[in-house]
Amino acid sequence: MYVIKNAIKSIFRSKGRNVLIGIIVLAISVSACLGLSIRQAASKAKDDALDNMTITAQISFDRNSIMNDMRPDSSGSGGFDKSKFSESMKNMQGLSVDEMLTYADNDNVKDFYYTLTVSMNGSEEFEAVDTSEETDETESNDNGFSDEFGDMSGMMKPGKGFTIGSMGSQGDFTVIGYSTDSAMTDFINGTSSITDGNMFEEGTDSLDCVVSEELAVYNDLSVGDKIKVTNPNDEEETYELTIVGIYANSQSTVTSGDRMFGFSLSSDPANQIYLSYNALKSITTKSEENATISTDENTGMETTTAMPEQVSGTYVFATVDEYNDFTIEVYDMGLAEEYVVSSSDISEYEQSVVPLDNLSEMALYFLIVVLAIGAIVLVVLNVFSVRERKYEVGVLTAIGMKKWKVSIQFMLETMVVTVIAVTIGGIIGATTSVPVTNSLLKSQIEAADSKESGMEQSFGRVPGNMMGNMPDNMPQMNFDKGDSGFRGKATEYISEVSSATDITVLMQLLGIGVFLALVASVASIVFVMRYDPLNILSNRD
Amino acid sequence: MSILKIENICFAYDKKQVLKNISYEFEKGHIYSIVGKSGAGKTTLLSVLSGLAKPTSGEIYYDDKNMKDTNKYEYRSKYVGVVFQAYNLLTKLTALENVVLSMDISSKKIKDKKKVAYELLERVGLSKEESNRRVLKLSGGQQQRVAIARALSYDPEIILADEPTGNLDSETQKEILTILRELANAGKCIILVTHSDEVARMSDYVYQLK
Domain-wise residue ranges, chain B: 2-209
Which of B76, B88, B150 faces A537 most closely, judged by CB atoms? B88
Taking the CA of residue B156 and the nearest CA in chain A, the distance in Å comes to: 12
Q: Searching chain A, which residue's CA lies closest to the CA of residue B152? A: A399
Dihedral of CA atoms B127, B133, B136, B141 in degrees, nearest 10, equals 0
Q: Mutual orientation of helices B170-185 and B140-152 as an angle, nearest 10°?
A: 10
Residue A388's CB: how many other CB atoms inside 10 A?
A: 11
CB contact under 8 Å between A2 and B52, yes or no, is no
Which of B101, B102, B109 best tests the A interface by mutation, with the highest count of A CBs <10 A? B101
CA end-to-end span of chain B, whole Å?
Answer: 26
Same domain, A368 and A285: no
DSSP secondary structure of A464-529: T-SS----TTSPPP-PPTT-TT---S--------S----HHHHHHHHHHHHHHHHHHHHHHHHHHH
Residue A207 lies inside a defined structural domain of this protein: yes
Residue A45 lies inside a defined structural domain of this protein: yes
Same domain, A383 and A308: no
**What residues form DSSP beta bridges with A57?**
A315
Measured distance CA(B102)–CA(B23) in Å, rounded: 30
- Distance between alpha carbon B198 and the CA centroid of its chain, in Å? 18
Dihedral of CA atoms A64, A65, A67, A72 in degrees, nearest 10, equals 140
From the list A286, A294, A290, A246, the residue with the least C-alpha distance to A270 is A246
Measured distance CA(A222)–CA(A240) in Å, rounded: 15
What is the pLDDT, as a whole number, of residue B93? 93
Most confident of A530-534, B16-20, B95-99: B95-99
Q: What is the pLDDT along chain A (541 residues), one digit of tens a residue?
A: 889 988 998 898 888 889 998 999 999 989 888 888 888 887 887 787 777 777 889 998 877 766 666 666 555 555 666 666 666 666 666 788 889 999 999 999 999 999 999 999 888 888 888 876 544 444 444 444 344 433 433 333 334 444 444 445 778 899 999 999 888 888 888 888 999 999 999 989 999 999 999 999 999 999 999 999 999 888 888 999 999 999 998 765 554 444 444 457 777 888 899 999 999 999 999 988 888 888 877 777 777 888 888 899 999 998 888 999 999 999 999 898 888 998 888 888 888 778 788 888 888 999 999 889 988 988 998 888 888 888 999 999 999 999 999 999 999 999 999 999 999 988 898 888 778 777 777 777 777 677 666 666 666 655 544 444 433 333 333 333 333 333 444 456 666 666 667 888 888 888 988 888 888 888 888 888 888 888 888 776 4
**Rg of chain B, C-alpha, whole Å:** 17
Q: Which residues of B touch A (CB under 8 A)?
A: 47, 52-53, 73-78, 82, 84, 86, 88-90, 92-93, 97, 101-102, 104-106, 150
Q: What is the pLDDT averaged over residues B141-169? A: 89
Look at residue B34 and tell me whether its pLDDT is greater than 90: yes
Buried b (16+ CB within 10 A) or exposed e, A30-61: bbbbbbbbbbbbbebbbeeebeebebbbbbbb
For residue B71, name the pLDDT band (cuts at 50, 70, 90): confident
Tell me the three state secondary structure of residue A95: coil
Q: At a CB cut-off of 8 Å and minimum separation 6, what does A102 contact?
A: A333, A334
Q: Searching chain A, which residue's CA lies closest to the CA of residue B13? A: A535
Same domain, A311 and A361: no
Measured distance CA(B162)–CA(B147) in Å, rounded: 11
Measured distance CA(A415)–CA(A512) in Å, rounded: 11
What is the pLDDT, as a whole number, of residue A263? 56
Residue A271 lies inside a defined structural domain of this protein: yes
Measured distance CA(B105)–CA(B73) in Å, rounded: 10
Q: How many domains does the structure of chain A reveal?
A: 2
Q: Please classify residue A505 by burial: count the beta carbons closer than 10 Å to its beta carbon, then call 0-12 exposed, 13-18 middle and 19+ buried.
A: buried
Residue A325 lies inside a defined structural domain of this protein: no
Look at residue B45 and tell me whether its pLDDT is greater than 60: yes
Taking the CA of residue B115 and the nearest CA in chain A, the distance in Å comes to: 17
Which of B93, B103, B109, B143 best tests the A interface by mutation, with the highest count of A CBs <10 A? B93
What is the pLDDT, as a whole number, of residue A469? 40
Chain B residue numbers with beta carbons less than 8 Å from the beta carbon of A533 are 52
Q: Which domain holds residue A486?
A: 2-52+354-456+479-538
State whether ipTM is beyond 0.90: yes
The reported pTM is: 0.64
Chain B residue numbers with beta carbons less than 8 Å from the beta carbon of A399 are 76-77, 82, 88, 101-102, 105, 150
Tell me the three state secondary structure of residue A162: strand
On whether any CB of chain B is under 8 Å from the CB of A17, the answer is no
Same domain, A269 and A402: no
Which of B53, B77, B86 faces A399 most closely, judged by CB atoms? B77
Superfamily of B2-209 according to CATH: P-loop containing nucleotide triphosphate hydrolases (3.40.50.300)
What is the pLDDT, as a whole number, of residue B97? 95
Lowest mean pLDDT among A139-143, A220-224, B73-77, B111-115: A139-143
Taking the CA of residue A416 and the nearest CA in chain B, the distance in Å comes to: 20
Residue A86 lies inside a defined structural domain of this protein: no
Measured distance CA(B131)–CA(A245) in Å, rounded: 98
CA end-to-end span of chain A, whole Å?
Answer: 32
What is the pLDDT, as a whole number, of residue A158? 39
Residue A272 lies inside a defined structural domain of this protein: yes
Same domain, A310 and A384: no
Residue A508 lies inside a defined structural domain of this protein: yes
Residue A127 lies inside a defined structural domain of this protein: yes
Q: Which amino acid is at A314?
A: T
Q: How many CB pairs under 8 A join A and B?
A: 53
Alpha helices in chain B (DSSP H): 42-50, 72-74, 95-106, 113-123, 128-131, 140-152, 170-185, 197-202
Measured distance CA(A329)–CA(B51) in Å, rounded: 78
